[in-house]
């Protein structure tokens, strides 16, 4: 596959609110840029700062935490 033209934004989304919200965006067919990769975490309480650091170390352009 060719080189990705997108940014690399990693989203850590709470299962109960934001992840469900992203599902709802899908149900409503709301288009948004493909630059974000959403990972499901059980609660933003689970969010360890290490996860964000790891993403940045692996080359992410940005990290988004939502919950």
SS3 content of the chain, % helix, strand, coil (to 5): 35, 25, 40
Degrees, nearest 5: CA angle 29-30-36: 115
By beta-carbon proximity to other proteins, the closer residue of 22 and 66 is: 22
Considering only the C-alpha atoms of the chain, give the largest distance between any 2 of them, rounded to a whole number of Å. Answer: 37
Site for other proteins contains 17 (CB under 8 A): no
- Could you tell me the smallest distance in angstroms from the CB atom of residue 66 to other proteins? 13
Q: How many Å separate Cα 2 from the centre of its chain?
A: 22
Site for other proteins contains 7 (CB under 8 A): no
Site for other proteins contains 40 (CB under 8 A): yes
In the complex, the residues that contact other proteins under the rule CB under 8 A are 1, 4-6, 8, 10, 20, 22-23, 25-27, 29-32, 34, 37-43, 45-48, 50-51, 54-55, 58-60
């Amino acid at each position: 596959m060719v080189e990705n033209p997108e940014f690399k934004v990693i989203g850590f989304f709470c299962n109960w609110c934001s992840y469900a919200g992203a599902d709802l965006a899908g149900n409503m067919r709301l288009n948004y840029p493909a630059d974000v990769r959403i990972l499901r975490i059980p609660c933003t309480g689970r969010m360890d700062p290490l996860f964000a650091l790891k993403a940045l170390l692996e080359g992410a352009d940005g990290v988004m935490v939502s919950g």
